[in-house]
Structure 1
Amino acid sequence: MHIFFSDAHLGFGSREDSRERERHILRFLEHVGTLNPESLWIVGDLFDYWFEYRTVIPKEFVRTIGAIAALADANIPVEYVIGNHDFGHKNFFESELGVKVHRDDVERELAGHRVLISHGDGKALNDMGYLILKKILRARTSNALWRWLHPDIGIGVAARASRKSRDHTTKKHYGGERPGEADGLQVFAQKKIEKEGFDLVIMGHNHRAAVVEFDGGTCVNLGNWMGKERTYLEVGEEKVELRKWRSIGEP
């Protein structure tokens, strides 16, 4: 079995809200360890902002980082497809945690399925403006200049860049907002399934949990962990199931 989740946005909102969200993530990651899956996939925006230096990372996420390290130490492969908010990775996750970081979409054979895994940013309708912004933010030159800033300043700038990205995506018309209108990410997935032969397309980004069947395959949007839905995906040979996480004591 393979497990997927996305869009926890740790660091967003008040400190109390972010910590509460992190508590659920920590319990979930502990649960993942008991399942001993073939792999765990973080499909972008685990953090609302992330920018690392050669010797410095954001300190407020240390508990989650430790939980991910524990899974990797238990020989559970952890793979991380970065999103539009947590783009500032260098090599910490790979060199220190043993987590494979992907900066682009990933194609894999998993549990007998041909799978495309993408955060989903840049896949919506009419998203050229974001694609230009993405290219600038992730350019090697931009990141090199950014790292000349003191970490207290640079990480603060990363947080502001995250808010700019949120302003763009909040105003973005993804499709599907109006009755009878197609969801732009689902349109992208349908093309991948029907024209390129994928069995399963897994995305996040727009926070709308959904499982949609097309001719020849399935599109899953992983939803988010910012409210009470807290959805995640289990993929096995016999099932593709989007589930809701409930911590102990919750109704």
Structure 2
Amino acid sequence: MIPQYASALLISDLHLTPSMPLTAQRFFDFCEKEAPKVEVVFILGDLFEYWVGDDAALHSPFHQEVKRALATLSTKVKTYYFHGNRDFLIGSDFLNKTGMTLLPDPSKLEIAGHDYVLCHGDGLCTADVGYQAFRSLVRKPWLQRLFLLMPLDWRRGIANHLRSQSAQQYQHTQQQSPALAQIKTNVTLAACAAVLRGQSDRLIHGHTHLPAHHQEQLGDQEWQRWVLSDWDMDHPERAQPKASALRIDASGVHYSDLIKS
């Protein structure tokens, strides 16, 4: 039997890092104020900007503060976690200390009487063939074990290199073909239809940073799709501050603006 809940809050893509203190503080406030008011909280990946192993958090006062906030939240409300593309190395030690439960990506759950499929969303971006090959490789347990045996400084260096390389590739594609860049970084209808087939007609994910509610169809299959927002309250020069959650309860599905609340 799939897990069933009467009310939920869903968040994703906070990319927490010490260099973004306003975003981090809004997350701490969320854990104290909004989150305990529902039955369950889902964090759909990329809570952190990057994660190179649970042992790295032991040396970071910032990550220890986040851990304490999550541990306190987990004593008040059931808290689930999905691996994102930035923090898929979060392991059992961190999960045990925070009280969060890791869910496989994707997972089917019942919230307020409806079935939903939840996932981070990067696995749905199948137009980016290169990324999907990379994703398949780095999710292999044997490769992760080898990576985690490396010295911490090496792991951080590799992570920073991969992030820089990814940003450069995106900028290059954006300059050469903005339309292609948009296609490669978004989900495909075929991937959404495949993950929902025989499971549900409601899909929720993050990753793309394109919050919206979609009514979609492929062939004779129809579904609704909600995309979660990323959070950023520290770079007003780039865009307006962003922080929102998706709330599901008996009244329906609603986006909650956490900037104004």
Normalised-by-shorter TM-score class:
0.7 to 0.9
AA partner of residue 4 (structure 1) = L
Asked whether the 8 Å contact 1:79–1:102 carries over to 2, the reply is: yes
Cα deviation 1:113-142 (Å, max 9, x = unaligned): 111111110312422211211122222222
Distance 2:196 2:188 in 1: 12
Identical residues among aligned pairs (%): 22
Alignment match, 1:111: 112
Asked whether the 8 Å contact 1:124–1:188 carries over to 2, the reply is: no
Deviation at 1:66, TM superposition (A): 1.2
Deviation at 1:89, TM superposition (A): 1.7
AA partner of residue 32 (structure 1) = E
Q: Determine whether 1:78 maps to 2:79.
A: yes
Over 3 Å counting, the alpha-carbon distance change for 1:126 and 1:113 in structure 2 is same
Q: Determine whether 1:224 maps to 2:226.
A: no
Aligned residue for 1:122, secondary structure, equals helix
Superposed, 1:1-251 pairs within 5 Å as 1-11=7-17, 15-16=18-19, 18-35=20-37, 37-53=38-54, 57=58, 59=60, 60-74=62-76, 76-167=77-168, 184-185=186-187, 187-188=189-190, 191=193, 195-196=197-198, 198-214=200-216, 217-227=223-233, 228-246=241-259
Distance 2:186 2:251 in 1: 28
Asked whether the 8 Å contact 2:58–2:64 carries over to 1, the reply is: no
Aligned residues: CA RMSD? 3.1
TM-score by length of 2: 0.78
Over 3 Å counting, the alpha-carbon distance change for 1:157 and 1:67 in structure 2 is same
Cα deviation 1:63-103 (Å, max 9, x = unaligned): 222111101122x1111111111111221233222211135
Over 3 Å counting, the alpha-carbon distance change for 1:164 and 1:92 in structure 2 is farther
Deviation at 1:164, TM superposition (A): 3.9
Over 3 Å counting, the alpha-carbon distance change for 1:190 and 1:97 in structure 2 is closer
Deviation at 1:229, TM superposition (A): 2.3
Aligned residue for 2:207, secondary structure, equals coil
Over 3 Å counting, the alpha-carbon distance change for 1:204 and 1:46 in structure 2 is same
AA partner of residue 41 (structure 2) = L
Aligned residue for 1:3, secondary structure, equals strand
Aligned residue for 2:232, secondary structure, equals coil
Asked whether the 8 Å contact 2:23–2:232 carries over to 1, the reply is: yes
Deviation at 1:46, TM superposition (A): 0.6
Over 3 Å counting, the alpha-carbon distance change for 1:192 and 1:110 in structure 2 is farther
Over 3 Å counting, the alpha-carbon distance change for 1:208 and 1:162 in structure 2 is same
Over 3 Å counting, the alpha-carbon distance change for 1:33 and 1:126 in structure 2 is closer
AA partner of residue 13 (structure 2) = D
AA partner of residue 253 (structure 2) = V
Aligned length: 239
Distance 1:116 1:103 in 2: 11
User: Which runs of 5 or more residues in structure 1 are unaligned?
Assistant: none
Distance 2:250 2:171 in 1: 36
Cα deviation 1:29-59 (Å, max 9, x = unaligned): 2113441x11100011110101224685461
Asked whether the 8 Å contact 2:9–2:245 carries over to 1, the reply is: yes
Over 3 Å counting, the alpha-carbon distance change for 1:190 and 1:89 in structure 2 is closer
